[in-house]
Amino acid sequence: MNALKPAVNVLCLKWGTRYDANYVNILFHSVRRHLSRPFNFYCCTENADGLDAEIRIIPFPDNPGIKRGWPDILVKLMVLQDGFGSLVGPTLFLDLDIVIMDDISPLFDYKPGEYCIIHNWVNWRKQLLGRRPAVGNSSVFRFDAGRSNRVYETFLREMRQAEDTRIYNTEQAFLTHAMEKVNWWPDEWVRSYKWNCRPAFPLNLLVTPKAPPGCRILVFHGRPDPDEAIRGYKGRKLHHHMRAAPWLADHWKL
């Protein structure tokens, strides 16, 4: 039955030196283990050296006019341009610093044809006070390639505001604005390693982080990165420390 379904797209970005080809290859193999339908895997990059031969390469786009320098994280807005990489149809964007824990097929079945994105996390104080703003986290979002050009046109029209961090502190805040109507992923599907795995201080110094139940994708925004979390991470402050989590290596692998 799955073989009869049209192929979907999975897309990631790589530039600079923080994440090497191994990160892309691990993500590709993780998707292959956890997506039970035909798919094409794309990486938009300026350097394809070392990438698995089955990964389809999209050249990194030219600067559309961003004044603060290029490459820039605002490139995420450009992937929604009609014709980008010749993509068509349901497309799941994934950051490189994630760990896929379970079947991600439901991320393509959830609210088809609509924009879906993470409801960005806030600290527990803001959560208790109900101060979780309607802003997405762009580590995992889905769109229909070929039908999302309005987002890109908004980006071109409001580029100066998009790159002004006094107005939009992150690219994901502008992305949420440009999408206009978004759907949040179910909270249990996409979790934050920082907020949902790290024990609260001082237990973080004594207790190993644990996998959240029901989690399909674990997001590593900021530090640590997945390889650092496996080994254990010493942050600048005691409450940022995290004990080694070797169980992550069962999921973050080729």
Average pLDDT value over all residues in the chain: 95
Give the confidence band of 122 by pLDDT, cuts at 50, 70, 90: confident
For the segment 58-94, what is each residue's pLDDT rounded down to a tens digit?
999 999 999 999 999 999 999 999 999 999 999 999 9
For the segment 143-188, what is each residue's pLDDT rounded down to a tens digit?
999 999 999 999 999 999 999 999 999 999 999 999 999 999 999 9
> pTM of the entire structure?
0.96
Instruction: For the chain, give the secondary structure using H, E and C.
Output: CHHHCCCEEEEEEECCCCCCHHHHHHHHHHHHHHCCCCEEEEEEECCCCCCCCCCEEEECCCCCCCCCCCCCCCHHHHCCCCCHHHCCEEEEEECCCEEECCCCCHHHHCCCCCCEEEECCCCHHHHHCCCCCCCEEEEEEEEEECCCHHHHHHHHHCHHHHCCCCCCCCHHHHHHHHHCCCEECCCCCEEEHHHHCCCCCCHHHCCCCCCCCCCCEEECCCCCCHHHHHHCECCCCHHHCECCCHHHHHCCCC
